[in-house]
Structure 1
Amino acid sequence: MKKLALKIIEKSGAFSLFNRFTRNTATIFMLHRTTRKQKPGEHLLTTDTLHDFLDYLHKHNYRVVPLSVYVDALINKEDTYKTVVFTVDDGYRDFYLNAFEIFREFKYPAAVFLTGDFIEKRLFLWWDKIEYAINSTAHEEINLEFLGEGAIPITEKRQKNEVILKIVSYCKKIGNQQKLQIIDNIIGSLDVDLTGQPEGIYEPLNWSEIEEMSSDGIEFFPHSKTHPILSHISRDEKEIELGQPKKIIEDRLKKSANIFCYPNGQPDDFDQETIEILRSSGYIAAVVGYEGFDSSKDEIDLFRLRRFPVPSDLYHFKQYVSGLEYFKRRLRSN
């Protein structure tokens, strides 16, 4: 909804009128990156905004529960009135540096999905490779012949961002080996050294930080081994991608890691074979990357639990958690 309309609802105190629509469902939010201060051109969740979100939930008596508790509630058909769940994808270190202290302040849980080889420091996430190469190169243009476009200038930040988005979008649609080869070709053509480990904004969590957070209310689950589009790889590759990170997390933390997050998580990014392997590997549920609510009153596909990208302002946050968004979607479906 438009922010003006949400402000009117806020001033009239009408958000609470929609709370009855939160019964038997929950709002699951999906976070990726957090920052203490927004830089020009960035669209990351700031710590101030996150603090405002959690403070609102605390003051208005919402239940913020671990993802595992919500999955159990769905299985057992329990009421989930005014329930919110936070999930965090990939395993970047900025969650520990920026967001963890805010969750700890409110004693609220979150579920972090770890990309196995990234955490084990064997992997520079593939989209970060593209971004790093284009932002770091001394070259003033890039050859996008593989997209049918030829040489494109990348001297300005806007040009770089457009090219990064274009390449990443294309790479999500092609086979895994073809994607990796294209990225290697880009890095080579731009004369960028990517032989070291990810640092700075690209740095992963380390196990000391993971263990500390695990003992303080944060859950950890697998997000695959190397973050491929699972529908683009073979069954044998899927078994490795789904099985290895689960074993690593469970061995390190001595806790169950039986909920999965599909890389990218759109409907075409995984298939029924993926779900069959998840079940046989001991997983009980999985979250996707597209929007929606799941209700314990309905027949639920536990391997397609829907989430919402965390909004950028408090008014839209209230829209999602209050029941207003659920009410809107129900109206549209009738």
Structure 2
Amino acid sequence: MKKIAFFLLDFLGFWRWALAAAGSRTILVYHGVSSDTGSGIFNYRKKFIQPRNFENQLRWLWRFYTIVPLNSLLETADPGRRLAITFDDGYVNNYTEAFPILKRLNTPATVFLTTALVGNESPLWVDRIEYAIGHAKKDTIDLTIDGKSRRFPIRSREEKEKADDFLRTYCKQINGEEKEKLILEVENQSETKLRLEGSPYEGLAWDYIREMEASGLIHFAPHTKTHPILSHISPDEARIEINESNDIIKQKCSQYIPVFAYPNGQPRDITVSIIETLKAAGLHYGLTTVPGSFNTIDDPYAIKRITMDATDDMRFFRLTASGLRARLVNLVNIFRAEHKRPEEFFHETADPYLKEYSRATPEGYSFRERKRLTLQMLGNTRGKRVLDVGSGPGVIIGELLDQKASVTAVDLAPGMTELLKKRFQSPRLAAEVGDIQHLRFSANAFNMATALGVLEYLKEDASAMRELHRVLDINGQAIISFPNYWSPWRVWNRILVFIFGFTWRGLKRLLGKEVHPLTHREYKEKEIRRLAASTNFEIQDLVGYNFRILPFPLDKLLPGLTNIIADRLKRNERNELKWLATAYLVRFKKIN
């Protein structure tokens, strides 16, 4: 079915429309060019393009683009449709197969080097898995995945590809230490280990790099030392990966450019700390693998590139290089329920989340009202031990530290915790990544706790309340926020979603607007009281905040008026009209 669709889209020339609609600057990313069929399951994901197909692709690109060096594309805004070619990782086939074609067609390119692969110091972790599974001497391997034993049959090629695909994806979700342990176990059970020299996974040699530079066509730039997903290792480890890669390339390459390509390259892989490390290293741009072209560079550390893996078929290549493939994926996703885990979403949005607090939007107003009431409920915290769960970038922490409180901040999102640590340096502040349902602290450790914008994202909230009860001392207090189910604004939104859900979601996507990827629950007041009683808490105060009355889309069109009305109505935050507010803030007292 896909092949038929690709044929029709190509035959009808839809890629021409996509080219016309694309931005003036496009970056393509290849991994390699190889005629080697290899053994095992080598290149089953087709990240290496056949040489004859690569040459045909370049000839096609020259017809519709001006191909320029990457640094020229990034630093100048010349008229016309321009394109840059990049290669990630630094495989030897970039020299043996791609370089002769690039020279023959006088085409510039930039290679992002994983420097441990250069000179065959160590293979990429993805290739270690692929090789071990593909050449295993057993029919099954038994691994521990998420704490549970799992058997992988690897007798047939199909089974091997399936196992490799699962393990590759799983390794992208765990930290660097766990990943290395798992890969070693795969190699041990497979009774085989990748040796780079002479293999199709081999890396470039420095002599080859110097020859490529001498042509004047090829530039080199850093892609880390060992290709970890940087957000899955510590900031110190990420700093070493970036700096060692950058330093050796600057030292050895005459055609070095100060541009970095993120391993894996998705938004969740990039944190504030990583960007700060790039800046400190003198790297002026960060390249992702998020597909798209651009006219201007809004964020130099989040530049899009179109991945060219699996484009040997010329029809598929045209759909991909023109940007049409990415547009089609977005259209398909219009009708697909796209949900993210809270830790993933907030990790990616740490900086915008903090900026929202100072903006004159209804969301910013709501954040400020919640902060005002939280500090009011906490009262004098001097000398108190305060636990801030779901701390985000630390929106109440500055005031708590000013009052001489000792604060422990916990958040699921590493990006939030990193931003918090950057904003505050105090011996009375401890910050860590953690989960409200599994707090690592001893019983009775804190006098007070806050959980703002936390419980609504949990599948089971009572366990979180019980954990707060455990870590609070006798008579300890917790301030927790709850979205209000009966708020007129929320009721109206539920009606809109019921009637126009798919249509509105599609319209927002087509307009390039973000569709909020998180789902959360809303609470009735009686549900909050029932939750308190079932977890040994007493409600001492329950107030409404953010009286956002104007319905959507008026609240978006008239944000100033929305905020003025909300400010006038906040006098009702504790009376019988508090149900008009979009959320409740509740002060609980621990009872035994």
1:213 maps to what in 2? Answer: 212
Deviation at 1:174, TM superposition (A): 0.4
1:284 maps to what in 2? Answer: 284
2:313 maps to what in 1? Answer: 313
Deviation at 1:116, TM superposition (A): 1.1
Structure 1 pair 170–332 and aligned structure 2 pair: CA distance change class (3 A)? same
Q: Please identify the structure whose Cα radius of gyration is greater.
A: 2
Structure 1 pair 313–80 and aligned structure 2 pair: CA distance change class (3 A)? farther
SS of the residue aligned with 1:242?
A: helix
The answer to whether the 8 A contact 2:128-2:193 is kept is no
2:152 maps to what in 1? Answer: 152
Structure 1 pair 315–187 and aligned structure 2 pair: CA distance change class (3 A)? closer
Write out per-residue CA displacement over residues 119-142 of structure 1, whole angstroms, 9 at most, x where no aligned residue.
143212111111111122211111
Deviation at 1:167, TM superposition (A): 0.6
1:111 maps to what in 2? Answer: 110
How many angstroms apart in 1 are the aligned matches of 2:324 and 2:184?
A: 46
For the aligned residues, what is the CA RMSD? Answer: 2.6
Instruction: Answer 1 or 2: which has greater strand percent.
Output: 2
- Identity among equivalent positions (%) equals 29
1:168 maps to what in 2? Answer: 168
Matches within 5 A, 1:92-107: 92-107=91-106
Deviation at 1:228, TM superposition (A): 0.8
The answer to whether the 8 A contact 1:65-1:84 is kept is yes
SS of the residue aligned with 1:182?
A: helix
Of 6, 13, 17, the residue aligned with 2:10 is 6
- The question of 1:51 aligning with 2:55 is answered yes
- The question of 1:262 aligning with 2:292 is answered no
How many angstroms apart in 1 are the aligned matches of 2:282 and 2:10?
A: 43
The answer to whether the 8 A contact 2:219-2:256 is kept is no
How many angstroms apart in 1 are the aligned matches of 2:273 and 2:229?
A: 13
The answer to whether the 8 A contact 1:246-1:257 is kept is no
1:275 maps to what in 2? Answer: 275
Deviation at 1:146, TM superposition (A): 2.3
Structure 1 pair 56–141 and aligned structure 2 pair: CA distance change class (3 A)? same
Amino acid at match of 2:94: F
How many angstroms apart in 1 are the aligned matches of 2:290 and 2:149?
A: 30
Matches within 5 A, 1:294-333: 294-296=294-296, 300-310=298-308, 311-319=311-319, 332-333=510-511
Higher relative contact order (CA 8 A, sep 6+): 1
Structure 1 pair 56–132 and aligned structure 2 pair: CA distance change class (3 A)? same
The answer to whether the 8 A contact 1:225-1:245 is kept is yes
Unaligned runs of 5+ in 1: none
How many residues are treated as equivalent by the alignment?
321
- The question of 1:71 aligning with 2:74 is answered yes
Amino acid at match of 1:333: L
The answer to whether the 8 A contact 1:65-1:83 is kept is yes
Deviation at 1:207, TM superposition (A): 0.7
Amino acid at match of 2:276: E
Deviation at 1:241, TM superposition (A): 0.8
The answer to whether the 8 A contact 1:20-1:81 is kept is no
Structure 1 pair 317–96 and aligned structure 2 pair: CA distance change class (3 A)? same
State which drifts further: 155-164 or 251-260. 251-260
Structure-2-length-normalised TM-score: 0.51
The answer to whether the 8 A contact 1:26-1:83 is kept is yes
Amino acid at match of 1:241: E
SS of the residue aligned with 2:112?
A: strand
How many angstroms apart in 2 are the aligned matches of 1:134 and 1:319?
A: 32
